[in-house]
Structure 1
Amino acid sequence: MTKFSTLQRWMSEALGTAFLLATVVGSGIMAETLSGGNIAIALLGNTIATGAILYVLITIFGPIGGAHFNPAVTFGFWLDKAISTREALGYVAAQTVGGIMGVYAAHAMFDAPIFQIGPKIRAGASQGLSELIATFGLMLCILFAVRFKPKAVPMTVALYITAAYWFTASTSFANPAVTVARSLTDSFAGIRPVDAPLFIVMQMIGAGLAFGVYRFFVGRG
């Protein structure tokens, strides 16, 4: 089995998160353009594209760096002592930069201004609770699938996010890097920067709670 360097793992995180955000934002722009104002159809198009790219990205980058693409996921694996603090910080930096670059790439592909600020209001207790639950569920899926059925991780995550787009009021950002990046787009997928901190805090709490539940079931062995 090929052993990858820390730099290669970080780069896989940056590339994967970039493609994830390019898909989330790009498909949102495309869906909104083609849906004729039907928000349900636009969300469906956005959902399908996001679920599909997650399966692909986790399949190809998972063997290199674990395919976290998400600081909350990295936090969970750091809690599990699967990665060091230095590696985790590098992952988070790579994910954040990669996500922003993915948003800029989507803007460029659709001939939109590169630098934007998200205007979409996503505030309030229901949105925060949605992000806590969305991230809690995502982290549980990942931890249990990695432990009990590793080959099912790509499909498990892709299907969970596809469902969570629809059963959460926030449409399941469930990812601090995604939240930061989506605050930089004035598109269907955007969020106001002022609303992002609530999302990020609740996402990290959700990840921590999921790790606690995971440990309850599997112990520390």
Structure 2
Amino acid sequence: MHSAATDDYLKTIYHHTEWQTAPITPSQLAAELGLAPSTVTEMVQKLAAQDLVSHRPYGPISLTDAGRLRAAAIIRRHRLIETWLVREFGYAWDEVHDEAEVLEHTISDRLLDGIDGRLGHPRFDPHGDAIPDAAGEVVRVPFVLLGGALVGHTGRVLRVSDRDPALLRALQATGLDVGHAVMVTGRAAVRIDGGESVELPAGAAEAVWLTA
């Protein structure tokens, strides 16, 4: 069963450990999906029966090899579509997530391969998230969350969470974007490309990742 619901569960579990290591718990998964814990428990049991997740009662949930491959495939679709919408259609980075959520379930593998080729096989989406290749592999570099970086730390902006479109717009207004060089001057303040120190909007400390 590879339904949209299955994909959403697998994507959420995959996302949880992309930028930190603690596995997701059933209650966290329910909160992320906006579903009742009982509904999530039932679905996790079905996914476990299909060997897509590993889970024991009341314990954390992790993807099996098969589950990780399936999750990487749908995430590859989502992030390639986001990149395509930004590069080819002029979408802003805060506008692409919802469109990609719809299109990822509808386009063919042939069209996806065509998009990938036209874009030059990008490794990262507009938010800095790694795009898995056709084998489910991704490129990763050491990273640090802005809120955990020491004052004086220098690095590139690796990734900005796409969870909050309003925060994306506010960050863009400060001049911060993926790929820019920054020096940390406070818990949520940075110098961007050698400029003056800029105070970032609320939520930035937990939404911006830098090279370590």
TM-score, normalising length: structure 2:
0.29
TM-score, normalising length: structure 1:
0.28
Q: Which has the higher contact order (CA 8 A, sep 6+)?
A: 1
Report which of the two has the higher share of strand.
2
